[in-house]
Amino acid sequence: MKVAWAGSRETLELSDRMAKLVANDPVFEKFTRPMLGRKELFKNTLRKAAHGWKLIVDLRLTEEEAKWLRLYIDEPAYTDLHWGMFIPAIEGQGTEEQKKKWLPLAQKMKIIGCYAQTELGHGSNVQGLETTATFDPQADEFVIHSPTLTSSKWWPGGLGKASTHALVYARLIVGGEFHGVHGFIVQLRSLEDHSPLPGITVGDIGLKFGNGAYNTMDNGVLRFDHVRIPRNQMLMRVSQVTKEGKYMQSDVPRQLIYGTMVYVRQTIVVDASKALSRAVCIATRYSAVRRQFGSRNGGPETQVIDYKTQQSRLFPLLASAYAFRFVGEWLKWLYMDVKQRLEANDFSTLPEAHACTAGLKSLTTTATADGIEECRKLCGGHGYLVSSGLPELFAVYIPACTYEGDNVVLLLQVARFIVKTVSELGYKQPVGTTAYMGRVATLMQNNCAVRTAEDWLNPGAIVEAFEARAARMAVACGRQLAKFENPEEGFAELASDLVEASVAHCQLIVVSKFIEKLQQDIPGKGVKQSLEILCYVYALFLLHKHQGDFLAVGYLTPKQALLANDQLRTLYSKVRPNAIALVDSFNYTDHYLGSILGRYDGNVYPKLYEAAWEDPLNDSDVADGFHQYVQPILKQKLHSAKL
């Protein structure tokens, strides 16, 4: 199962080596992180990033090894944006000449870059950005300017204190004409002493949610006062500005300017499976350690993992972690395919790649953020302790629902794609993830054939149920929209229904990709069988949770919905014997997990007890402040009898 989770034996071995390298290095200690003040915390992150880079260079780590190393260091840092957005943006939007100039500098870390798109007043609406880049043909330069307070760049990670350069998204103005938003490489700080260059105001935006958590990152604010950059620092793969001041659009679609977001959204789906699996690993191991009630004749109490309520909350999350892992693997394939096509100037699959990355990013991050919080509750009171690892994991993770596109805004993008597909059904055969809509007549007509709980253990029955629900919801939205004279007005009015239809479509993708995964050769005794059980748990859990949809569109009867729930209960009993093995298969070191409750050896109580004494409040028996603030109250002579 470890191999199935990792994707291949090579990846398992490689990631395991990197995990151990980090776990055994004292520089990467992270237990005290939530207690550090902001300055100390940030300096410590810089130290870890520097040490990580030294290891990469000294040990001549490959790009793949370096990625795993950074993952296991497990501390948001400017390097995430440098490697994760700045470099990919140049790769995707730069010309060959630009790549030749900038990529070696960035890859050797001679410059540090960030991705500066969002502004104080504008995030989701990228076309509404206010920063301007005005071409000056005399000087052959662009003038980058922040005309208003709301145009201040706000949020970019790594911008506040670390970056020397930024990829700045600004409105292009050539000859007095606006040409939409484009990306520009702008130097922010001196490469000698790191001080901000003239015309640049830059700093950190302040503390964020949670202790430690995302506060290791210097999310920044940036303003430009007529900062000049050479013309060739506009990324010019999509469109060009000539020396003479001519704006030229190539054959490449404008949307490629948003390409870095597509790339990162794709990586976020696999990351969701990592974050959720960490939380599930902690909650599952602890649920086997924790006992409550049910002692007979003085024997041990019941392990809480044996309660059906615990199982019905925990096992769907375990199944979701696996589902997100496999859909993430598929999405990575889809992205690589699109990338190759784009290089060959084939843009036909870009809309589907955008819809899939947007929708699956939204679906998986929402479920993961909710799932981490559920895991905290599954651990009872001890889950609220920072040493459980769950509060920090939650605090670090939740912005994923917002960054790289607010999850609702992204689902509305999926809705546009679905509505367009439905409207074209008469004359265009849908392909890829919308191919099922090509069978819309059958899906609208046929109803579920399930008669017994066992009938639900059938991939065909499950896929058809999810297809029928998604198709019927999409068609219903299409019909409602048709009643509006102005389509944009209709879209705005029906936005909530459209979002629900998008969720149904995305859930269908995850379920189908899990089922497709099981059609592959999966080596290892019992591995495939265990994954089949998890796949059914995932699908039937969703069906149960959203049974209102399946019933409302008229595909299921209430009896069939009840049978699905009966089957789900049986499946939980099948997951239970392997639950610990299924989380051990994530192969997480205790260092990466960062949780006393989730320790591999299960030695929870002694370690919790020990850790309590390490709290700074326990440095002395009598607290600092006692004599000043508590003792006077204790010694106070009160005159009123009532008091």
Ligand X SMILES: CCCCCCCC/C=C\C/C=C/C(=O)SCCNC(=O)CCNC(=O)[C@H](O)C(C)(C)COP(=O)(O)OP(=O)(O)OC[C@H]1O[C@@H](n2cnc3c(N)ncnc32)[C@H](O)[C@@H]1OP(=O)(O)O
- Catalytic residue positions, numbered: 404
Helices (H) and strands (E) in the chain, counts: 23, 13
219 binds, among ligand FAD, ligand X, none (CB under 5 to 8 A by kind): ligand FAD
The secondary structure of residue 523, as a DSSP letter, is -
- Per CB under 6 A, contacts with ligand X among 355-414 are 403-405, 409, 413
Q: Out of 41, 66, 221, 264, which residue is the one contacting ligand X (CB under 6 A)? A: 264
* Residues 592, 212: Cα–Cα separation, whole Å: 15
CB-closest chain residue to ligand X: 84
Minimum CB distance to ligand FAD smaller for 133 or for 412 = 412
CA dist 25 and 48 (Å) reads 10
Amino acid identity at 174: V
Tell me: does residue 350 bind ligand X (CB under 6 A). yes
Task: Give the residue with the Cβ less far from ligand FAD, 314 or 498.
Answer: 498
Amino acid at the residue 223: R
Taking the complex as a whole, the smallest distance from the CB of residue 88 to ligand X amounts, in Å, to 8
Who contacts 492 (Cβ-Cβ below 8 Å, separation ≥6)?
A: none
Among 121, 137, 203, 351, binds ligand X (CB under 6 A): 351
Q: How far is the CB of 575 from ligand FAD (least distance, A)?
A: 34
Two tokens, residue 428:
């265009």
Contact between 84 and ligand X (CB under 6 A)?
A: yes
- Cα–Cα distance measured from residue 432 to residue 436, given in angstroms and rounded to the nearest whole number: 9
Write out the two tokens for 477: 């939205």
Please choose which of ligand FAD, ligand X, none residue 383 contacts, taking the beta carbon within 5 to 8 angstroms, the exact cut-off set by kind.
Answer: none
Show the beta-strand stretches assigned E in 86-236. Answer: 113-116, 132-136, 141-145, 153-154, 165-174, 177-187, 200-204, 220-224, 227-230
408 touches, from ligand X, ligand FAD, none (C-beta below 5 to 8 Å by class):
ligand FAD
Closest CA to 309 of 378, 388, 376: 378
Structure token pair of residue 207:
């503390």
- Which one of residues 62, 107, 124, 529 is an interface residue with ligand X (CB under 6 A)? 124
- The residue among 264 and 534 lying less far from ligand X, judged by its C-beta, is 264
Least Å from the CB of residue 146 to ligand FAD:
14
Interatomic CA distance for residues 221 and 227, integer angstroms: 16
Our CB check for ligand FAD shows the closer of 122 and 599 to be 122
In angstroms, give the least distance from the CB of 538 to ligand FAD.
26
Contact with ligand X (CB under 6 A) among 18, 77, 236, 261: 261
User: Is the CB of residue 136 less than 8 Å from the CB of residue 152?
Assistant: no
- Under the binding rule (CB under 6 A), the answer on residue 287 touching ligand X is no
With 0-12 / 13-18 / 19 or more C-beta atoms within 10 angstroms meaning exposed / middle / buried, residue 462 is buried
Total chain residues near ligand X (CB under 6 A): 25
In the complex, least distance from residue 89 CB atom to ligand X, rounded to whole angstroms? 10
Closer residue to ligand FAD (CB): 323 or 412:
412
User: What does 261 bind: ligand X, ligand FAD, none (CB cut-off 5 to 8 Å by kind)?
Assistant: ligand X
Please say which residue, 31 or 484, places its beta carbon nearer to ligand X.
484
Provide DSSP, 287-345: HHH-EES---TT---EEGGGSHHHHHHHHHHHHHHHHHHHHHHHHHHHHHHHHHHHHTT
Contact partner, 354, from ligand FAD, ligand X, none, Cβ < 5-8 Å per class: ligand X
- For ligand FAD, the binding residues (CB under 6 A) are 81, 115-118, 123-124, 155-157, 214, 219, 399, 402-403, 405-406, 408-409, 412, 495
Q: Which does 446 bind (CB under 5 to 8 A by kind): ligand FAD, ligand X, none?
A: none
> Can you give the three-state secondary structure of 49-86, one letter per residue?
HHHHHHHHHHCCCCHHHHHHHHHHHCCCCHHHHHHHHH
What residue number has its CB nearest to ligand FAD? 123
Please give the single-letter amino acid code of residue 426.
G
What is the rounded distance in angstroms from the CA atom of residue 413 to the CA atom of residue 433?
Answer: 15
Using rule CB under 6 A, residue 115 touches ligand X: yes
Give the integer Cα–Cα distance in Å for 493 and 481: 9
Residue listed under structure tokens 């049910």:
294
463 counts as binding ligand X under rule CB under 6 A: no
Query: Among ligand FAD, ligand X, none, what does residue 429 contact (CB within 5–8 Å per kind)?
Result: none
- Of 319, 367, 406, the closest CA to residue 582 belongs to 319
Applying CB under 6 A, which of residues 60, 63, 96, 127 lies at the interface with ligand X?
A: 127
> Could you tell me if 227 and 197 are in contact, meaning their C-beta atoms sit under 8 angstroms apart?
yes
Q: Tell me the C-alpha distance between 387 and 607, whole Å.
A: 10
Single residue of 15, 44, 45, 117 touching ligand X by CB under 6 A: 117
Nearer to ligand X, 262 or 582 (CB): 262
Q: 332: how many CB neighbours lie within 10 A of its CB?
A: 15
Using the contact rule CB under 6 A, the part of the chain among 258-266, 434-442, 525-533, 623-631 near ligand X is: 258-266
Query: Helix 495-518 and helix 527-545: axis angle, to 10°?
Result: 160
Residue closer to ligand FAD by CB (options 118, 560) is: 118
Residue 214 contacts which entry, ligand FAD, ligand X, none (Cβ below 5-8 A, type-dependent):
ligand FAD
In the complex with ligand X, the residue whose CB is nearer, 127 or 636, is 127
**If binding is defined by CB under 6 A, does position 215 make contact with ligand X?**
no
- Give the interface segment with ligand X, choosing from 11-19, 113-121, 332-340, 566-574 (CB under 6 A): 113-121
Q: Residue 502 corresponds to which amino acid? A: S
What is the smallest separation between the CB atom of 56 and ligand X, expressed in angstroms? 15
Residues near ligand X (CB under 6 A) = 80, 84, 115, 117-118, 124-127, 157, 255, 258, 261-262, 264, 267, 350-351, 354, 403-405, 409, 413, 416
